[in-house]
A and B are shown apart, each in its own frame.
Chain A
């Protein structure tokens, strides 16, 4: 493989990491509070607001059930409004964030629900406010689950980021389609797949390691 092609792969990897990184950060910034709210707003819970919980649940489900490639195309006007353009890696961050937010929210909800309800009641009985319970109990106790949830989200985002190549989003997916498929360079396709596999492995291993580090429940020193 020529140095030019290798440069292309490096550049595309950089674009993919940029898109996934920023989208994961933004998706967490929006998804974490939504997830915490979903997990704590049913009837009788900490921030009980069953009506809002129901509506939010429907929105989250609707977004999650829209195929990603359709979402990308459907929100092009919105993408243009936010990013100034609908083409390139920066623009691709908009649909990636919108797709990952409800996904992360559901994963966060599941992780928060795993926290023993007794701890919430215990902390309430000390006179803790709901906000104190979120920051001192729910998030720290759910941390191992949250780390694994984010790992899963990043892995999914890597897959999604390959799809935005189809609409000029740049990155590894774009490279694979334009060079590997359209110009019929199977070695390029192979290289893209190998890099993606390596990235997923790396992210998953790092996530697993981190989740173990923050898990005090199974500690064996």
Chain B
């Protein structure tokens, strides 16, 4: 049903990309994009919309519309969007803190949007969550914070003690057992938050901007920890974020949200090697940059310069793409191609970026280079000329 629709949608999107694919047969792309079937979906949104009614003079808000996608079991899935895109609403639907206006949210094969009271509370114990501002109780030590969900679930004191010790070791802060949150650094607080979220052995871990308040090194360490947890415990992780770097480092699947709609979803490598929606392109630009270095850009003129270079920008997309591009271009066309600037990053194992090349000689050299590039299905454009 939904999942098969998802598959169709994805296949269609792949076809659309075909013309852009870089020396990579379409079959390969399809082979690496298995859409989640009903059985292997951990979270499934079925035709969700969420509207907040008008309240005290504020107009109503359509926070989410036509949301229909699945998060595969055991995956790390990023949900990326600008602020106000509907990320928080989406995450609050997964853990049952809010009900959808229409549609169903299926978490681990049970319809969480239909549960209430005690049943909902029981279901919530299989969903862990970590927060941007950690949300630890200041009145409790690290150990007692981690114990909180276990107390709520009615574990015995002895079981809680053993589990807390285990969890503190898992997140690498065994020595902070008796520390209060005010005595911990941001990274340590988030480790306590992660241990607390994992306490009741949930099958899903929701991360709501969990690294947005941390510095880059700490962010990296926390993301590594989450990757370990996903690998070793098999917990499905849903990363809500506005930061492309978080998705790039950790997620294998991605859902791009904009103005309450899912604008793109699929494998991180596919989505970011061939971004279609402007929002996705802008997220990609955060990582790989979309403009030339200032010193180069300021020297570019529109018309040919005697003895100068034609500037060509080549988009690099795909595994190993571009590795030997400059060398082959120079060898096969017998040109002294100069590399003016390059920015290539790796997203989901795929190279994504651009090369800016300087081509010497007359106009026909440029035409030959562009023809050669298009023959190998590289997307390229002439930017201008420099002296």
Q: Please list the residues of chain A having a beta carbon within 8 angstroms of any beta carbon in chain B.
A: 116, 118-119, 121-129, 132, 136-137, 140-141, 143, 214, 216-219, 221
- Provided the pairs A136-B148, A140-B137, A216-B138 are in contact, do residues A121 and B97 lie with their beta carbons within 8 angstroms? yes
Do A127 and B180 have beta carbons less than 8 Å apart?
no
Knowing that A126-B148, A136-B152 touch, tell me 13 more A-B residue pairs with CB under 8 angstroms: A116-B135, A118-B135, A121-B97, A122-B131, A126-B124, A126-B125, A126-B152, A127-B125, A127-B152, A129-B121, A141-B137, A216-B181, A216-B182
Among all A-B residue pairs, the 6 with the closest Cβ atoms: A127-B121, A127-B124, A126-B149, A122-B135, A140-B139, A216-B180
Q: Mark B131-175, 1 if CB is under 8 A from A, else 0.
A: 101010111100000001101110000000000000000000000
Cβ of B340: which chain A residues have Cβ within 8 Å of it?
Answer: none
Do A118 and B149 have beta carbons less than 8 Å apart?
no
Do B148 and A127 have beta carbons less than 8 Å apart?
no
- Provided the pairs A119-B135, A119-B137 are in contact, do residues A125 and B152 lie with their beta carbons within 8 angstroms? no
Cβ of B122: which chain A residues have Cβ within 8 Å of it?
Answer: 127
Q: Within 8 Å of chain A (Cβ to Cβ): is B200?
A: yes
Nearest B residue to A44 by beta-carbon distance? B55
Nearest A residue to B125 by beta-carbon distance? A127
Cβ of A123: which chain B residues have Cβ within 8 Å of it?
Answer: 148, 152
Q: Within 8 Å of chain A (Cβ to Cβ): is B183?
A: yes
Cβ of B151: which chain A residues have Cβ within 8 Å of it?
Answer: 136
Q: Within 8 Å of chain A (Cβ to Cβ): is B246?
A: no
Cβ of B140: which chain A residues have Cβ within 8 Å of it?
Answer: 140, 216
Nearest B residue to A119 by beta-carbon distance? B135
Cβ of A214: which chain B residues have Cβ within 8 Å of it?
Answer: 139
Do A124 and B180 have beta carbons less than 8 Å apart?
no
Q: Within 8 Å of chain A (Cβ to Cβ): is B14?
A: no
Q: Within 8 Å of chain A (Cβ to Cβ): is B95?
A: yes
CB-CB contacts below 8 Å: B74-121 with A: 95, 97, 120-121
- Provided the pairs A132-B152, A140-B140 are in contact, do residues A118 and B131 lie with their beta carbons within 8 angstroms? yes
Could you write out 18 A-B pairs with CB less than 8 Å apart?
Answer: A118-B135, A119-B137, A122-B131, A123-B148, A124-B124, A125-B127, A126-B149, A126-B200, A127-B122, A127-B123, A127-B153, A137-B137, A140-B137, A141-B139, A214-B139, A216-B138, A216-B182, A219-B180
